[in-house]
Amino acid sequence: MNSLVDTKVPINIDNPAVMFCEDLCIECGACRHSCETDASANSGSQPVCVYCGQCTIVCPSAAITERYDYTDVKKAISDSDKIVVFNIAPAVKVSLGEEFGMPEGCLSEGKIVAALRELGANYVLDVCFSADLTVLEEAAELTERLKSEAVQFPLFTSCCSSWVQYVEAFFPELVPYVSKAKSPIATQGNVVKTYFAGKHNIDPAKIVNVAVAPCTAKKHEISQTNTDYVITARELAKWIKEDGINWDDLQAADYDSLMGTASGAGVIFGNTGGVTEAVARTVYYQMTGKTLGEDYLNFQAARGMNGIKTASVNIAGKMINVAVVHGLDNAKEVVENIIYGKSAYDFVEVMACRGGCIGGGGQPRTAVPTDDNLRKSRVAPLYKKDSDAQLRASYQNPDVKAMEAGV
Ligand code: SF4
């Protein structure tokens, strides 16, 4: 069993997600505490940075920040030979307004699209489109697993790159049980440079694909994907301010077509429990062939801020046990219980950041420390958008259907 090591997790010069300026450090220990508790990143003999960026949220002196990539994106925009495509992740839609004086939990999606167009975007797309694709893949994997009696461990989600780093570093024996589905941002990159490029007759080599994310870990994750840059919500806010764009004057704008539609399930990917709820909706359909009932549309047991949530769901006579975990300290506890036979699940969702991506390391620092009231404020509009959506399950997304049909 791993035990905590009382060592600060080093931020090396080649860290792709965060950077450390020693001159600004006041040696308060806030980052060390964050690594030891929330991130559990120094479980085991060697401390390992899992890139979650929670240290950038708690550092009071800006000694630790995300690695800035928005300046490179600006250069790409000024290159007339490049087509710059932006993709907005769901958790950013409910946080960015905080940087411009909007109340916590305001959904400012339309203004973000408008701001990106003013900054020079050629296209602006919704990452929730690819969240629907990730759900379909993960649900198919789970449905397949449920048919097998011989599976030793549950299916773990794969969309949180810090969790994937963590499991690879500290529980490598569980790697085969992590879903093969790519994260929404990685999937989006592939679709943009294939399907989207083809539909618009664009040479994929000219596309610079940028994700606007709540996450610093995605900066590491994209190294082997078709996404060229990840900029955090904070970077985008900094860029908007530097360019003198008046946020209050922005008129809400729409996404570009083809990849601008998402189901309610794709929207709630941004918060803890959202992946489980989204996958449950599609698994229900895959196992029964029936339209979802209210019980599965609002999966209350997966919601809320408890660090470990568990539930059993009966689908087509099969009892499915799920665990929803956020915070790597909680993940450590659940994983150890599974390994030592104290708990058994079919599906385990893990998000490294408390609250899920809405509490990500690249989110605004307008309320420090980030507390659960702020996290709940950011979650509420995502559930509202889901409950208002006409289509609430990923398999119903018409843009996904059109892509799969080759239309
Ligand atoms: Fe990134 Fe979300 Fe994971 Fe946090 S929970 S590390 S924001 S993917």
Residue 391 burial (C-beta neighbours within 10 Å; 0-12, 13-18, 19+) = middle
Measured from the Cα of 362, ligand 1's closest atom is 7
Indicate the SS3 state at residue 90.
helix
pLDDT in tens, the chain (407 residues): 334 445 568 898 999 999 999 999 999 999 988 888 766 665 666 788 999 999 999 999 999 999 999 999 999 999 999 999 999 999 999 999 999 999 999 999 999 999 999 999 999 999 999 999 999 999 999 999 988 877 778 999 999 999 999 999 999 999 999 999 999 999 999 999 999 999 999 999 999 999 999 999 999 999 889 999 999 999 999 999 999 999 999 999 999 988 878 999 999 989 999 999 999 999 999 999 987 776 667 888 999 999 999 999 888 888 999 999 999 999 999 999 999 999 999 999 999 999 999 999 999 998 767 899 999 999 999 999 999 999 999 999 999 999 998 77
Give the domain ranges of the chain. Answer: 4-66, 134-181+263-360
What stretches of 233-327 show up as alpha helix (H) in DSSP? 233-242, 264-267, 274-288, 294-297
Query: What was the pLDDT predicted at 322?
Result: 96
Tell me, in angstroms, the distance from the centre of ligand 1 to residue 237's CA: 19
Tell me, in angstroms, the distance from the centre of ligand 1 to residue 161's CA: 7
DSSP string, 340-382: TTS---SEEEEESSTTGGGG-TTS--SSSS--HHHHHHHHHHH
CATH homologous superfamily for 134-181+263-360? Fe-only Hydrogenase (Larger Subunit); Chain L, domain 3 (3.40.950.10)
Tell me, in angstroms, the distance from the centre of ligand 1 to residue 331's CA: 13
Radius of gyration in angstroms for the set of CA atoms belonging to the chain, rounded to a whole number = 20
Could you say which DSSP state residue 196 is in?
A: I
Tell me, in angstroms, the distance from the centre of ligand 1 to residue 182's CA: 14
Q: Is the CB of 232 under 6 A from ligand 1?
A: no
Alpha carbons 274 and 270: distance in angstroms, whole number:
7
Residue 30 burial (C-beta neighbours within 10 Å; 0-12, 13-18, 19+) = buried
Q: Is the CB of 357 under 6 A from ligand 1?
A: yes
Site of tokens 């789970």? 142
The CATH topology of domain 4-66 is Alpha-Beta Plaits (3.30.70)
Alpha carbons 254 and 109: distance in angstroms, whole number:
9
Q: Is the CB of 160 under 6 A from ligand 1?
A: yes
Q: Is the CB of 351 under 6 A from ligand 1?
A: yes
Ligand 1 pocket mutation, candidates 34, 49, 161, 215, criterion most atoms within 8 A of CB: 215
Ligand 1 pocket mutation, candidates 167, 328, 357, 378, criterion most atoms within 8 A of CB: 357
Beta-carbon count within 10 A of 386 CB: 22
Ligand 1 pocket mutation, candidates 95, 161, 162, 216, criterion most atoms within 8 A of CB: 162
Give the closest residue to 237 by CA, choosing from 132, 130, 119: 119
Q: What is the pLDDT of residues 89-145, one digit of tens each?
A: 999 999 999 999 999 999 999 999 999 999 999 999 999 999 999 999 999 999 999
Q: Is the CB of 58 under 6 A from ligand 1?
A: no
Alpha carbons 313 and 284: distance in angstroms, whole number:
10
Residue nearest to atom 1 of ligand 1 (CA): 215
Tell me, in angstroms, the distance from the centre of ligand 1 to residue 160's CA: 5
Site of tokens 């495509």? 85
Tell me, in angstroms, the distance from the centre of ligand 1 to residue 350's CA: 9
The β-bridge partners of 156 are: 178, 348
Alpha carbons 255 and 110: distance in angstroms, whole number:
8
Q: Is the CB of 50 under 6 A from ligand 1?
A: no
Tell me, in angstroms, the distance from the centre of ligand 1 to residue 356's CA: 6
Ligand 1 pocket mutation, candidates 52, 230, 232, criterion most atoms within 8 A of CB: 52
Identical fold at 4-66 and 134-181+263-360?
A: no
The β-bridge partners of 123 are: 85
